[in-house]
A and B are shown apart, each in its own frame.
Chain A
Amino acid sequence: MLEKSNTLIRFMIKRNKIRIPLWLIGITFFTWMIPVALDDMFPTQDERDVMAETMANPAMTAMVGPGDVENYTLGAMTTHNMLLFTAIVVGLMSILIVTRHIRAEEEDGLSELILALPVGRLANLNAVLITLVIVNIILAFVTATGLYALGLESMDLEGSLLYGASLGATGIFFTGTAAIFNQIVASGRGATGLSIAVLLLAYLIRAVGDVTNESLSLLSPLGLVTRTEVYSNNNWWPILLLLGFSMVLFLLANYLNAVRDGGAALIGTRNGRKHASRFLGNPIGFVLRITRTASISWAIGLFVLGMSYGSVMGDLESFFQGNELLEKMLIEKEGYTLTEQFIPMLMLVMAILACIPPVMNMNKLIGEERKNRTEHVLATPVSRTKLMASYLLVAIINAFIMLSLTASGLWMAAEAVMEEGFSFVIIYRAALVYFPAVLVMLGLAVLLIGVLPRFTSLIWLYIATSFIINYLGGLLQFPDWVENLSPFGYIPAIPVENMDWITVIALSITAIILIVLGFTSYSRRDITG
């Protein structure tokens, strides 16, 4: 059953020689950076105690889990703020890689090629599992030695090892989870979606449990992660529990793989409609339909994000007092409460995130072309301009809805926790003022699709760069011209700054020019496939 697993492991590592290192470097670099930054921001115990006080409220506990606020050392602070989120990212990494090598390969017919060779039936599954166990162990050791090597006070060897082990164990647990869903459902997208849903559910159960009932949290793997109390009590038992559960998941995945046919699923795909609804039969309805699932997921995600930001508003005022660094990041202006001054920064983060789903909508056009599906539509009396315009229109509406949802989520949650809530109009304006910047991003995506169809992913690089430039720009005091490299850098900080119509109109015109250029090139070039 397991013949040639070793060869498959080597083959898998070879095919991932860029993807896995990128994940590992990203996660470890991020993990090392945070304590250094926190040490910079809160150099004395007094400052950390102030921070501890602002963190000791139910809203924050729901967001990041319980922390050792009684003894808020640098180590305890790092764990409290970062361990949970980093563990989620590690879980995500494991889920994506597992699906890529189990279901996605079966869908593409690649695993048939492998299984026709003298390779054991369970060899591929176990090669994937072992590869990811190795990857997660490496991750655990690299982060642990790195954290210890920083030589910061209160971050000892045992705690550092436990920090790494917590990340690694989470990764191994979600490797098992994804391996099971990959047996159960037939499509890679379905397996990824369900695994991520489990990850989010684990987060939510933990959030509710941490606030209301401790033992509920123990049902969640992420709840277990926060019970390690790294750099304070250093509990190892949650790690053992996680690894034990992972073993059970691995065995179950093996059992399920052994009893199912190749390419088949334990749960069949549901049958659908025999006829299309009238709604589907035009380009716009068609684009809405093929982008529906992604858009709904993002809409929920951004609304929840807005709510979680809104929910901490009540505690923000105390959060700011005595924190010079955050004050420096915010615009100093009389006549506004610090909470209000915090709005533009939150909105910037949310606007850049809200720009992802519309750009995904737009880039679906090139994705469809690469999968050779555009030719079906273009062979009907639908012109290229009309097709591209349908994608763009859907993307623009999407952008508008996403920005609206972040604002509504924030306003609603803030209304619930604050004594004197915000005016909805102010919050909504602060969000929608980013609309022209999102339009510029969309325009750029359109231009790339028209002119450089092979390099359309450059837009993601630009969005990531924008995030770093504008989010960290205030903190690191970049010169203005650097911040102006991103369209988000031009947007006035509503409600603190006044509305700057000229800039906003100039951005909109830029977007229109980019869009027109993109459309012209798109209708002149070959459609490849």
Chain B
Amino acid sequence: MSIIKVEKLRKRFGKFSALNGVDMELNKGEIYGFIGPNGAGKSTTIRILLGIMKATEGKAEIFGKDAWRDAVEIHKRLAYVPGDVNLWPNLTGGEVIDLFTDLRGGKRTKKREELLERFSLNPSKKCGTYSKGNRQKVALVAAFASDAELFIFDEPTSGLDPLMEQVFQEYVQEVKDAGKTVLLSSHILSEVEKLCDRVGIIRQGKIIESGTLNELRHLTRTHLLVETKQRVTDLQAFSGVYELNQNDLTLSFQVDADKIDSVIRHISQFGIKKLESAPPTLEDLFMRHYENKQSTDVGAHPNA
């Protein structure tokens, strides 16, 4: 059963086109990673899903209901945490958490106290004195304390330290284990990789890739830095090896995920002294995507 269904979604602000036909589908119980660089259209999509903005064209449904028309009905069952949490300076964090709970029509529960402790947030402080990270915690506590069925997080960890990021990830996992659905927007690929079942990559208002992370493996390249006892030869001949830099006994290169095995086998013949690998970054993904696109373009127009 699909919880969120977005089809051919377009949004124009005057002449500027923020979304150019976004398609997205979230199934019940899954965590969907929504990734893309700043300004790609993540927040606009989310705001349309929340009924805060109206789509110019296309379909945006949550729980099978129209995101714009049935916003109030939908909001009874969802919790939202924006990336930039602005709160009322003269209300305390505790008051804001209760306010959100009450407005959502939920019950104030013990869960709140547990969350406050785990996120180490002092609820008696005025929001005006909180840092960005602490304001984000207020919204996160309010969200996790609710019994929502769908959680929408828009870059929720941008102000959190690594320890708190860890706590956040635990609670996302808990929510998933309870069979709830999560839409997690981020520009940090590693966070998405850890949590998400499926991802959609948005750029310039269009989903350019989507699928499970395994399905996207063809897009990922691992960076390798190798030091060997003897000089490695013949590596150029391998397909799937890029940006090779050889300096006597050390070499650095990128390799396609599906070619790692054969490449490592080859190198190990020369006696590996040191091996460092770095996971692919979001930037690499985008660059790969555009390389692929260019090569198909060239293929389609051989005379160009």
Contacts and interface: CB of A to CB of B under 8 A. Distances in A.
Contact of A379 (B50, B92, B124, B126): B50
Interface string A264-304: 00000111111110101111001001100100000000000
Given A375-B50, A381-B73, A271 B92 contact: yes
Contacts of B102: 276, 278, 280-282
B129 A380 contact: no
Given A276-B98, A380-B100, A381-B104, A372 B86 contact: yes
B73 A379 contact: no
A10 B12 CA distance: 41
A276 B95 contact: yes
Interface in B76-119: 76, 78, 80, 82, 84, 86-92, 94-105, 108
A381 B105 contact: yes
10 contacts: A278-B102, A280-B99, A281-B103, A282-B103, A286-B99, A375-B82, A379-B75, A380-B75, A381-B72, A381-B76
Interface stretch (B51-59, B232-240, B296-304): B51-59
B92 A274 contact: yes
Contacts of A272: 91-92, 94-95, 124-126
Interface in B6-64: 47, 50-54
B131 to A, nearest CB: 11
Interface of A: 107, 186-187, 189, 269-276, 278, 280-283, 286, 289-290, 293, 371-373, 375-383, 524-527
A286 to B, nearest CB: 6
A289 B50 contact: no
B128 interface: yes
Closest 8 A-B residue pairs measured CB to CB? Answer: A281-B102, A276-B98, A272-B92, A380-B103, A276-B95, A379-B80, A271-B124, A274-B94
Contacts of A372: 82, 84, 86
A494 B50 CA distance: 50
A273 B91 CA distance: 9
A274 B141 CA distance: 14
Interface residues of B, number: 43
Contacts of B78: 379
B52 A379 contact: yes
A373 B86 contact: yes
B123 interface: yes
B47 A289 contact: no
A271 B125 contact: yes
B100 A376 contact: yes
A373 B251 CA distance: 52
Contacts of A527: 47, 52-53
B169 to A, nearest CB: 22
B75 A281 contact: no
B71 interface: yes
Nearest to A387: B103
A371 B92 contact: no
Contacts of B126: 269-272
Nearest to A385: B72
Given A271-B92, A290-B90, 11 more contacts: A187-B89, A269-B125, A271-B126, A276-B94, A276-B96, A280-B102, A281-B101, A281-B102, A376-B100, A378-B51, A380-B104
A371 B86 contact: yes
B81 to A, nearest CB: 9
Contact of A526 (B53, B96, B124): B53
A306 B29 CA distance: 63
A281 B124 contact: no
Given A281-B98, A380-B104, A527-B52, A375 B47 contact: yes
Contacts of A290: 88, 90-91
B174 to A, nearest CB: 21
B128 A187 contact: yes
B53 A273 contact: no
Nearest to A282: B102
A380 B72 CA distance: 7
A271 B124 CA distance: 5
A342 B92 CA distance: 48
Given A274-B94, A381-B73, A283 B103 contact: yes
A27 to B, nearest CB: 31
Contacts of A276: 91, 94-99, 102
A375 B104 contact: no
Given A286-B99, A293-B90, A375-B47, A382 B72 contact: yes
Which residue of B75, B94, B102 has the most chain A CB atoms within 10 A of its CB atom?
A: B102
B85 to A, nearest CB: 8
Contacts of B99: 276, 280-281, 286
B150 to A, nearest CB: 11
Contacts of A377: 103
A373 B76 contact: no
Nearest to B80: A379
Contact of A383 (B71, B88, B91, B100): B71
A273 B75 contact: no
Among B54, B76, B91, B139, chain A packs the most CB atoms within 10 A around the CB of B91
B52 A275 contact: no
Contacts of B105: 381
Contacts of A189: 89
Contact of A280 (B50, B72, B95, B104): B95
Given A381-B72, A381-B103, A289 B91 contact: yes
B75 A381 contact: yes
